[in-house]
Structures are given as structure tokens and as C-alpha cells.
Structure 1
Amino acid sequence: MSDKEDTESEETMMMKILGSQKKSKKIQEPGGRQYTDEEETSTNDAGKGDLNAILKKIMSAKKENSSSAIQSGSPVEPVQRPDLTVGAPEYVSPSDAAASAGSISKETPPDRTKEADADDVRWSLNRIMAEIGSQSPTGEEDRKRSIAAAKKTTLPPETPQVKQTEQLYESGRLPDELEALRTPQVGQPTDLDEKIVSVDQISDLSARILPKSATFSVEEIRIHGRVNVYEGRGSGTLPSEINKIWQQQFPSGIFKEFDLEEEPDLEKKTGITSSKKIGLSGIFKAIRHETEEYNPKLHGPLVDLTFQQKPGLEEIEVYPVNEPYAYIRIIYDHATHEYTYQVIEPLLSEPEKDLLKELKERLFETLDINTKDISKEEARLKLRAAADSIMQDYGIHLSPIEREKILYNMYKDFLGDGLIDAIMHDKYIEDISCDGVNNPIFAYHSSYESMKTSLLYHDAAELDSFVTKLAQRAGKYISIAEPILDATMSDGSRIQMTLGQEVTAHGSTFTIRKFKDEPITPTDLIEWRTFAPLSIAYIWLAVENGKSAIFAGGTASGKTTSLNAISLFIPPLAKVVSLEDTREVKLPHPNWIPSVTRDSFDAAGRGEINMYELLRAAMRQRPEYIIVGEVRGKECQTLFQAMSTGHVTYSTIHADSVSSVVHRIENPPMDVPRNMLSALDIVCIQVQARVGGKRIRRNKQIIEILDIDPRTNELITNEVFKWRSATDEINYSGKSYVLEEIMEAKGWNENRMREELKRRQEVLEWMRIKKIRHYKDVAKILISYHRDPETVIETVRKDLYE
């Protein structure tokens, strides 16, 4: 019997067996091929019998052919098989390998022989089912699917002797490769639907899903220029070319945020020049003694900075936070290997404490000042004058140092933050945590991380009073009935408080997440190596051309900081709406509407305005850019609807990978359908890690969301930048579909795109080298580049390369 006749006989036999099955519910594939539900489940009893019958027929045919060939004495020629792998190395089948190994070793393990025979049978079934599929109404499509599956399974050459292996398939279950062919999964939801597939793993998607190749090299510049040449602080001393562009493009008054703020003339506004003009001292000036003002150079320091040496303790550093009143000393304990945060402030003697207490009581009775109506410095002068007046009325004469120490403690209690005032002045502190009475206050330092401080509350009433005062300053109310409160402090810091022992066993608590007075800029992100200059230039182009992004990461990984920094890339006159629980985003754009949520007025929830309602209202304001501080609930659906309708959106989410981002977004309480995820363009993954024992924040990945594979419902992604922890470098992958879309929209070629990325890297590096880090200065340069790029790049290159 010839090979062709043998194949046709096997196919006819298989079709008869399959045709003899009882009729069952048919399932229609998108390609047109029908199959039954018995075919779909490998555990179906009828399916088991048919499958075993097929295997027996195949093995019997092979055995007959083999025996007839031996009887006739003619050699059996192996069947010529199609080579489905291009350029693949020659394959040695398991059975051939076992045979060759038998000539060297004494005995071939029986289990190895079974595996070899199983591979031979698997190939035979693969070939038959592929040929059957090619003869079906949709033969071409099924044939391609079979070939694609066969590519994954290396084809072994047929051996002249094949053993019966029916016992291998007694369970009725086919190998995974055949199951994939026999039971198509198109359109059926599985656990793999949430899988994220890289574009590099896909080779046969049509141009409808992916544009072109998107692969081109980009030069990452590394400039080693002059340093410490200029350090901007919003003083308006930028290069003359930048100021000239600014004056020509933007008339005075458009960007009020950039107008220099003059210090208020307190003497003109209040008529106060010194403390002797307040209270009764102006009337009885002739009989009052003149108050001598404190002068550090003349009278000496208010605090003693001498370190008392103790065994095992080492002074690491001392720095001022509110000079000349408050200093911080970092101490390292070699025995416990811990750092301690010591606050150094003026010490009061017992008589001075009694005087301070008496003055505070008198001021409570006589002083009536609303600090919301006047500046902090103005309130400070009024308080100082009132205290001087009371002391002179009572004939109390103090030395300049004694008087300054008492006034400083009054400032802390009336206008400052009491016991933690010095910590609040420390720009290196990120978080402050009080865990209750008689527990030390902890502070999270940007260099030394979490440390125990030298401060603690000894009295529960004092701590309760301070928590209540913080709530009142924030315009909120806390009580035993409602002992938990989230609020925003006057400087923008976020605070969470509990009152008494209702919910916390150690008494009242508070946790403060400090807000930086000056927003972080892209220059800072490059200086701290959180981002590379090329990755920031990539984001600059993406933001300017309306690509939406989400910043994901863990707690304190820099999500909101990065979001605030890249917001400076938004075109200068675009309409921006920001939505937050607490105010953190700060933009210089004149057409910007900052919105914040509001808590309810009572326990019934009346008057509450949440993020979802704010976002719904923002959609009616026709914004071009929407910034959401963090998505947690159903507002995420509205956010993606905004993306789908053409609004550019930026937000943050707690997740550590693209897979976890998709998992959170698709599941309750967000419940965003997967087909809406393709409206998102970029996901930036932020991490907090350690390199060389030092805590750092890095942009771990920048990943593009390309589309959804219609066949598998998998999300197709492309990794553009990746952080290598071993070298602490951020590398470009060489492929970007976002950049290709920008090229097509603007009509640029690859050389033009490379030149634009290089220009923007040079501007960013120039600002870093010149130490232009204040957000007003950075924003001026970015906006000037948006309006007149040629003049800006000429100035930059002249300064960098000449």
C-alpha cells in the first residue's frame, strides 16, 4: 500500500468514527468550523472510546505495514515530512536517541522507551488532524492553526520500529498540543484572560492591531558640563533669552503664578514697626524701659549644641531647621545599630516656665486675632507685641535671651505645631507618627529612614488637646462620637488622627505626611536618578501630544511626586482639572481648576462630595487634561470613559506591575471592562528599592498599552524603558509605538523624531547642570520651548557645547 493510500485510509477511517457519534450541541467558531460539545471536553466517555479506537487503528496500520515490508524483504522508506521550522537544527527523536544510546549502555530504561514512543504517536496524530483540517470548509484557517501549534512541538523523525502504547492514553486525555487543536478556545473566557502579553511574543498580528515595526534607535545623550553655575529659586534671573521669549509671548497678567511675590510691608499695612507701639506702652512710653532686641552675634546662641559623649553613641550630623531656635542632631547607637533623631531647642528654667504659663493665660483673655485673615508673619508680630506689652505692664524685665526663649515657645503653641514644631520645619522629614501617650514620636527621614525622636507626650490631656487643635485648624471636627478623622493641614500636609482610647489603646494618635512647599520638577527626578533624561524626554513628548498615563507603585514609591512633575509638560494654555482627596498637585497653568473632595456634615452622610461626583462634574467643564490624585473605586469607570471620549487623563494607583494594575481595574470596586483598557496609552511603574544599602525611588518600567488581541482577549503591551537594579541604569528597549503614532500624526520621519528627542534631552540636562530646579523657573523654560523651541535650543547648545 502506498503512502498516499495509507494516509487516505486513515483519514477515511477517522471521519467514519467521528461521524458515528451521537448528535450533540454544536459550537460555531468565528472562522466557520463547527464542533460538538463532546469534542470540547476531554473527559466525555464517548470521546474516550473514539479516541482509543483511533489510536488502535493507527497502531494496527503501522504494525501491518511494518510486517508486510519485512515479509516482502523490501526496506521501509520513512515518510517524508514537511519541515515546519525555518532554520531549525536537526532533531533527534526520543526513540532514535534511545536506540543510539543502547549501543553504548547495556540497557535502555523502559520508561524512556515509552516516552519516545509517545512522541512518535503524538506526531502522527498531529499530522493526521492537520491534514483533516485542511480538507474542511475552513481548511486553510485550521491548517494555519495546526502548523502554528506544530511549530511549538519539534517534529521527531519516524523510526522503523514503533511499539504499541495504548496504555499511555487509557485515561482518554490527549497531550496539551492536541487538546489545543481538538478544543478551540476562541472567544471562551478562561483564567488566562488576565494575562499580559508582550508585543515581542506575538508575530502574526495584523496591521489593524499594531502599526508597522516601531523600532528605531534613539541617542541617549550624556553631558558632563559645568556645574554649580546657576541655581534658580524663582527669582526671575533666568537667561535673558528665556525672559525675552516670556515677555514677547505672554503679556503681564496671563501667568500670575510667575509674578514675583513681594514681601508684605507690615509697617504700611498694620502701622506696626516695633513692639513699643502696641498696647499701653505707647501711652506710658516715658516711664517704660526700652526693650532690647535679641542679637545672636551680640548675646550668644539660644541653645547649647555641645554633644555629651557617651559610650557607644556617635554624633552623625547637626543641622538647623529653624535657626537660631531649633536644631536637629542625628545620633547613631553602635550597640543597637539604630539612629536617633534629637531635637535641640531653648531650655526653660522653672521660673521661665511659670512666666510662660501666666503669659499664655493673659493672652487667651485679651488677644483676639483671626490668623486666617492675616499672614503668619503678621500674626507673629502681633503676638510678640502683645506679650511685650503684658510684661511691661507687670514690670517684668528680662534679658534678651530669656525674653527670646519665652517668645519662641509662645510662637510654637499659638502659631506653630507645639511639641512637633521643629520636626515640621525639617525639610528632610517625610512622615511624623505619634502612637500614643508615653510613646516616643517617630519621624521618617529621607536619608536615615524611620527614627525614634527625643520627643513624647507625657500627659493624655495635652495630646488630646493637640489633636483637637489640629482638627479645628483643618476646619474639621473630631470627638468621642466620631474619633477618626482625615484632614489637610494649612501647609498642605495630610494628617490622620484618632481621639482618646475609643479606637486606639494607647490614647490619641496622629500621622502626618508632609507636603513639600516647592513642587518636585522633572529636573529633580533626573538629578535623583528616578528617571533617565531620555525617559523624561519620552514622557514630555507623550504628554504634549495627548497620551494618557497611570503611575502605579507601592506606598511612598513616588507616584504622586512623579505625576506632579510631569504635569509641567502640559501645554501652557490647556484647560486642566485636577481632582484630589487632599491638595497635592500644584500647577502654574492659568486655566487650571483644582478640586478636592468634601466629607459629610453628619453621620448620615449628607453633604458629602466624593471623587466620583467631582469627576462627573469635571466632565461637564470640557477639560483637555484631567488629573486624578488616585483612583480607588467606581470613579475609575468614569476616568476610562473620559479617556475613550478623547480626554487626556493622568492618575495614580496602588499596584506593582501592569498585571496587578489590570487586575485591580477590572475587578470590584472599579469594574472597568477590558475593552476600555486600550484607551490607556502608558503605565509607569514606580518602586522603592535599596541599592548599596541606600533607599532609592526608581521608575522601574514604562510600558505602552497597545491593544487587545481579539482572538485571545489578552492585553498587548510593549516595554519601552526598564530599570536594571544591578547597574542602577534605565535602558531603552529600542521600540516605541507611542513615538511612532506621534511621528505619523506630525508627519515626521525617524531622523526628525531622533532630533526632537535629542533636543529635549539637552534642555533637561542643561537645567540639571545649571541647577534650575524651582518649579517656576522650570515651567518658564518648558513653556518657552513650547512657544519658541529654536531660540531655546540655540541658547542651551551655546551654553553646553561652546
Structure 2
Amino acid sequence: MAGDLFAGLDGGFDALQRRASRIVEVLRGTAVDVPPYDPQAHGPLVEFDGVADYEEVDRYWVNAPYAFVFIGFDAESDTHYYHVVEPHLDDFEQTVLDQLYDDIRDALIYDATTDPDDREAVLIAQMQRLLSEYSIDVTPNAFHRLFYYLHRTFEGFEKLDPVMQDPHIEDVSCDGYGLPLFVYHTDYTDIETNITYEQQELDSFVVRLAQQSGRHISIGDPVTETTLPDGSRAELALGEEVTPRGSAFTIRKYSEEPFTPATLVDYDTFSLDQMAYLWLAIESNKSLLFAGGTASGKTTSMNAVSMFVPPRAKILTIEDTRELALYHDNWLSSVTRGADGGGGDTITMYDLLRSALRHRPEYIIVGEVRGEEAMTLFQAMNTGHTTYSTMHADSVQTVINRLENDPINVPRAMIQSLDILCVQTLTHVGDERVRRSSVIAEIEGIDQRTGDLDYSTAFEWDPTRDDFEQRDSNVLDEIQDERGWSRSDLLRELRNRKRVLQYLVEQDVTDYRRFTALINEYYAQPERVVARVTDALDSDVAAAAPGVVE
């Protein structure tokens, strides 16, 4: 095996011996007992001198101590650059890594386990065993550099792994062979990276992504959509037939920590008034549809406001690819299946929706409506089920037109069972790219004179002031009548919910578990919660007042 390890090195045996002597001297240590990495004792694993022509504007770890990201800015072209920095391997270490990869792969497959910690222990044990067989002694630094690349390959996303671990990245886009990868960064928007793929490397990676997700992709069937093991959505294309510049992929990263309504208010996607309105509407079983263009935040908003569903209500979700993450005990999740998903028949959203009605849910959430499932969804609305869904459309009228025409074809009389339509947009405020709830409309019914579907605007975003205008609401009037409230009761309820939301925003409650816990407590004991948050808000105001001494 040692002969295989050194095969292919240039310069003959003498050169090999000199190189081996140099490496052994540099990598002096033990291959049996490798201590945990200690930056104080062992020094850095990565070295970096910057990128020519780019001024550094940001730098942060994505996988400490192995990989960090450098963000540079070129003033002349007014562009940012995303540069991944990883440990450097010299030629000899790269040869060792290649041999370790070949020899460890089968062992890891044999010892496969669902526990990542166990797989990491297996990887380390196999590395120690093989390095001993190779008669190569390595320092802790060298061992951890080799471990990083092996772990990145077997357990991560190969060279894409640092990007996938970056919490600032929303989307990843590879457009073909030899082309730079682009990412959407929450602070720097669309930005070019230093990552590229050659043909064989990219083809293999696309096939691997499909296989890991239980999907089939081939030259004969070169396009597939899937959900990656970490929950991210991926659109994959193999070869040059449908994507002439070569295999391609786009990944929309899955966030393990979903946005809360408080986060959306903090980002100014919604106002406190809008969110209090949606909270009361959801509790009162009003059906909602979120519309908008690509990356406008439709699914994020729908997922967030679902945290307002009362704690014991039964929720059933239906999706093509898993995106929704609810912190709710009584939640039944369902996902469609393609013909290759498990060896059986295809299971569509229409099939799942028909089945869902027999589960007797109180709330039905459909990831996106685009076809025949919309008819069943609106039938569910008409039979008393509260439903939420999303749709690609950029205005209220566009939503109505799409619903009424091919391929959806929902009768106008059924559309009027929809209560609220929220249209979102991805736009600019100054130099900043932002998401805003541009319109919250209410479906009022069919105009008996014209036959058109009537709707009114409850909230509208004013782009000149970057503010939201509130108007009269028929939905709130309906809720007032259904609850038997006076007008002052309704306004007090909205005011109390605004106060709770304001408290959550000011306390920076971004964790969905903490957020949901307080909402559920409000449902159980609203007076106590309102009193507590009011005291906290008043205390904060007093503490911030000039001349106040703690």
C-alpha cells in the first residue's frame, strides 16, 4: 500500500526520498495519539495574505479553525468578492490525502451510522490506522488538515461545504464548467466567489447531490428538483443538453432556525400593526395566501405566521420539497413523491391534499399552489378548513388571474372563500435590498353588478417613505361580529397583541421556541402576559429616559 501511496511522484527514488525526509521532518509527531487541536500550542491551520486588488471589508469563520470567508471590495468596479480560505496542502500531503480517501471510503461505508459524532470517530480511527500502515508520522496540524478535507468530502458538500456552512448565504448558483460560483449574501447580495468546478468534478457532484436525496439524474433524464439531506432545496441539471455551459445547480439553503414574526417586524418586512392583524386573523380561522416573486420571502412569511396557530389545533402541511418547519405539537407533515422516490407510484400534492381532508385538520398549509391541487384547496376552504399557501405572482390582480385561468382554473365563486391575500416584494430601499409586504388585501366577494371579484386593501407599503399605510378592514369587522366584541374590545385586543410583539422585537427573541412559548402563554393567560410585557416595556422606557439613575 505504501508503494501505491508514493506512485506517480516525479523525480525518481532519490527525489522521493529527499521529499519524504523533508515531510517527515516537518510532520514529526505520532499517528496513534493525536491530541485535539489547540491553536495556542499548534498555531493556525490556515494562512492567508489577502486577495490582490481587493480591500478587505469583512472576515469571519464558517468552520473554525479550518475555514473562513474573506469579503473583498474593488472600488474601481464597485464589486464585492467572496473568497473561501481553507488549509493549504503541499504536493506530498495532497498525495497522502488522495490515498487516504481511496482507503477510507469503503471503511466509512461499512461503518455507516446515523450519528455524525460516531462517523467522525470512525474517520479519525481509520486515519490513525492507515497513517500508521503508511509509516508516516504527522504533527497535530497536519493530521487536522487532512481530517478537514476528508470530513468535508465524506460528511459535507466537498468544496462547497464552507459556503453551505455560512449562515449569511441564502442561495448558491453554479452555472457551468469552469465558471465562478455565485452566492446571495444577506449583507452583500449577489456576489462572485473563488469556487469553480471542472467538468468531471461538477458532473460527479451533481450526481452525488441527486443520489444523496434519493433522486435519479442522468444524461437521459438530466433535470431534477430535490431536497438535500440538510433540508435545502436544489435544482440540478446534468450535462450540456439542457444547460449548454455544462452541469449546473442552484441551492436554496434551508434555515434550521426559522424566522419568527418578530424577526420579520425587526427587518421591516411587516409592521407591528400588520403582524397583530395577521395574528388575530389566524386565530380567527381566516384563510391566507402569500404571493410574490422569486426570493420575495413568501414561504418564510407563511412559516413565520404559522407560529400564531393556537397550540392544540391540528395542522397538516403539504409540500413538494420540505421547507416548512413548525414548532407545533399537533402537526402532520407530508411531502410529495416522484416515481423514483420509493419504487412505487407518484404521489402528487393533489393526492396528499385529498388525503389530508380525511385527517380532519383544522389548518391546512400547502407549500405552493400551481395546478389541480388549487381546486381541492379552495374546496377545503369552502368546507370550513383554514388554509394557507403561496403562489408566484406580483400583484393581487395577477393572483386572481392565475387562479381563474389555466392550469389552475378555480371558479370565481370559490375564490371568494379566500379571506386575505398578502403580496410580498424583493426591492431596494436606498442601496439596500429588502423584502417588504407590499399589499395586504381582503377578498370581499363578487360584485353583483359587474360579476368581478371585489377586493379591498387593508395595508399598503409606501416606497417613498418606506412605511405601511393602514386602511379599513372588513376582516376585522367580521372578527368583531363573530366574537361578539364591541369596537373598543377589538382595538384593545389588537393593541395588546402589538404590545406583546413589540416586547418580542425589543427583546430580540429570534428563537422560534421562545417566541412560540410566549404566544401559547398568551392564549392561555392573556391578561398576565400583557401585564408582564407592559411592565418590561415601561421599565425599558424609564431606563432610557434622560437623567434616570438605575
TM-align CA RMSD: 1.6
Q: Superposition pairs for residues 216-365 of structure 1, below 5 Å? A: 290-308=33-51, 310-311=52-53, 313-365=54-106
Runs of 4+ displaced beyond 3 Å: 287-290, 365-371
User: What is aligned with 1:43?
Assistant: none
User: Given that residues 31 and 131 in structure 2 are in contact (C-alpha distance below 8 angstroms), is that contact kept between their aligned partners in structure 1?
Assistant: no
For the residues of structure 1 that align with 2:282 and 2:110, how far apart are their CA atoms? Answer: 46
Amino acid at match of 2:64: E
User: What is the deviation of 1:369?
Assistant: 4.1
User: What is aligned with 1:681?
Assistant: 419
User: What is aligned with 2:286?
Assistant: 547
Q: Superposition pairs for residues 475-486 of structure 1, below 5 Å? A: 475-486=214-225
For the residues of structure 2 that align with 1:539 and 1:590, how far apart are their CA atoms? Answer: 21
User: What is aligned with 2:232?
Assistant: 493
Q: Superposition pairs for residues 237-636 of structure 1, below 5 Å? A: 290-308=33-51, 310-311=52-53, 313-369=54-110, 371=112, 373-458=113-198, 460-601=199-340, 607-636=345-374
User: What is aligned with 2:387?
Assistant: 649
User: What is the deviation of 1:606?
Assistant: 6.5
Amino acid at match of 1:747: G
For the residues of structure 1 that align with 2:281 and 2:32, how far apart are their CA atoms? Answer: 67
Amino acid at match of 2:398: S
For the residues of structure 2 that align with 1:664 and 1:374, how far apart are their CA atoms? Answer: 44
User: Given that residues 422 and 439 in structure 2 are in contact (C-alpha distance below 8 angstroms), is that contact kept between their aligned partners in structure 1?
Assistant: yes
Q: Superposition pairs for residues 78-93 of structure 1, below 5 Å? A: none
For the residues of structure 2 that align with 1:589 and 1:505, how far apart are their CA atoms? Answer: 45
For the residues of structure 2 that align with 1:472 and 1:370, how far apart are their CA atoms? Answer: 19
For the residues of structure 2 that align with 1:570 and 1:615, how far apart are their CA atoms? Answer: 20
Q: Does residue 776 in structure 1 map to residue 517 in structure 2?
A: no
Q: 1:398 to 1:540 in 2, by over 3 A?
A: same
Amino acid at match of 2:346: E
For the residues of structure 1 that align with 2:182 and 2:263, how far apart are their CA atoms? Answer: 27
Larger Rg: 1
User: What is aligned with 2:486?
Assistant: 749
Instruction: Determine helix, strand or coil for the equivalent of 2:304.
Output: helix
For the residues of structure 1 that align with 2:481 and 2:32, how far apart are their CA atoms? Answer: 80
User: Given that residues 316 and 334 in structure 2 are in contact (C-alpha distance below 8 angstroms), is that contact kept between their aligned partners in structure 1?
Assistant: yes
| Residue number among 379, 403, 406 corresponding to 1:665 in the alignment | 403
* Residues 30-49 of structure 1: CA deviation (Å, up to 9, x unaligned): xxxxxxxxxxxxxxxxxxxx
Q: 1:749 to 1:509 in 2, by over 3 A?
A: same
User: What is the deviation of 1:330?
Assistant: 1.1
User: What is aligned with 2:457?
Assistant: 719
For the residues of structure 1 that align with 2:284 and 2:103, how far apart are their CA atoms? Answer: 62
* Residues 436-475 of structure 1: CA deviation (Å, up to 9, x unaligned): 21111111111211111101113x2222211111111111
User: What is the deviation of 1:394?
Assistant: 2.7
Instruction: Determine helix, strand or coil for the equivalent of 2:70.
Output: strand
* Residues 573-602 of structure 1: CA deviation (Å, up to 9, x unaligned): 111110000111111222211011111139
User: Given that residues 350 and 373 in structure 2 are in contact (C-alpha distance below 8 angstroms), is that contact kept between their aligned partners in structure 1?
Assistant: yes
User: What is the deviation of 1:658?
Assistant: 1.0
For the residues of structure 2 that align with 1:766 and 1:496, how far apart are their CA atoms? Answer: 40
For the residues of structure 1 that align with 2:538 and 2:222, how far apart are their CA atoms? Answer: 62
For the residues of structure 2 that align with 1:448 and 1:767, how far apart are their CA atoms? Answer: 27
User: What is aligned with 1:766?
Assistant: 503
* Residues 541-582 of structure 1: CA deviation (Å, up to 9, x unaligned): 000000001001111001000000000011111111100001
For the residues of structure 2 that align with 1:506 and 1:700, how far apart are their CA atoms? Answer: 37
User: What is the deviation of 1:289?
Assistant: 5.3
User: What is the deviation of 1:377?
Assistant: 2.5
Amino acid at match of 1:727: R
Amino acid at match of 2:345: G
Amino acid at match of 2:272: P
Amino acid at match of 2:102: E
User: Given that residues 32 and 128 in structure 2 are in contact (C-alpha distance below 8 angstroms), is that contact kept between their aligned partners in structure 1?
Assistant: no
User: What is the deviation of 1:765?
Assistant: 0.7
User: What is the deviation of 1:534?
Assistant: 0.9
When the two structures are aligned, how many residues end up with a matched partner?
A: 509
Amino acid at match of 1:746: R
Instruction: Determine helix, strand or coil for the equivalent of 1:783.
Output: helix
User: Given that residues 32 and 129 in structure 2 are in contact (C-alpha distance below 8 angstroms), is that contact kept between their aligned partners in structure 1?
Assistant: no
User: What is the deviation of 1:481?
Assistant: 2.0
User: What is the deviation of 1:293?
Assistant: 3.0
User: What is the deviation of 1:639?
Assistant: 0.8
Q: 1:599 to 1:354 in 2, by over 3 A?
A: same
| Greater strand content | 2
* Residues 144-183 of structure 1: CA deviation (Å, up to 9, x unaligned): xxxxxxxxxxxxxxxxxxxxxxxxxxxxxxxxxxxxxxxx
For the residues of structure 2 that align with 1:638 and 1:755, how far apart are their CA atoms? Answer: 37
Instruction: Determine helix, strand or coil for the equivalent of 2:316.
Output: strand
Q: Which has the higher contact order (CA 8 A, sep 6+)?
A: 1
Q: Superposition pairs for residues 673-712 of structure 1, below 5 Å? A: 673-712=411-450
Q: Report which stretch shifted further, 557-566 or 715-724.
A: 715-724
Q: Superposition pairs for residues 35-114 of structure 1, below 5 Å? A: none
User: What is the deviation of 1:727?
Assistant: 1.1
Unmatched segments (≥5 aa) in structure 2: 1-29, 540-550
Instruction: Determine helix, strand or coil for the equivalent of 1:797.
Output: helix
User: What is the deviation of 1:498?
Assistant: 1.5
Query: Please, what TM-score do these two structures have when normalized by structure 2?
Result: 0.90
* Residues 82-119 of structure 1: CA deviation (Å, up to 9, x unaligned): xxxxxxxxxxxxxxxxxxxxxxxxxxxxxxxxxxxxxx
User: What is the deviation of 1:741?
Assistant: 0.9
User: What is the deviation of 1:365?
Assistant: 3.9
User: What is the deviation of 1:409?
Assistant: 0.3
For the residues of structure 1 that align with 2:56 and 2:110, how far apart are their CA atoms? Answer: 42
Query: Please, what TM-score do these two structures have when normalized by structure 1?
Result: 0.62
For the residues of structure 1 that align with 2:338 and 2:372, how far apart are their CA atoms? Answer: 17
For the residues of structure 1 that align with 2:33 and 2:202, how far apart are their CA atoms? Answer: 38
| Residue number among 443, 447, 469 corresponding to 1:731 in the alignment | 469
For the residues of structure 2 that align with 1:657 and 1:363, how far apart are their CA atoms? Answer: 55
Amino acid at match of 1:473: Q
For the residues of structure 2 that align with 1:468 and 1:686, how far apart are their CA atoms? Answer: 35
Q: Superposition pairs for residues 156-235 of structure 1, below 5 Å? A: none
Residue identity (%): 43
For the residues of structure 2 that align with 1:370 and 1:476, how far apart are their CA atoms? Answer: 23
User: What is the deviation of 1:655?
Assistant: 0.8
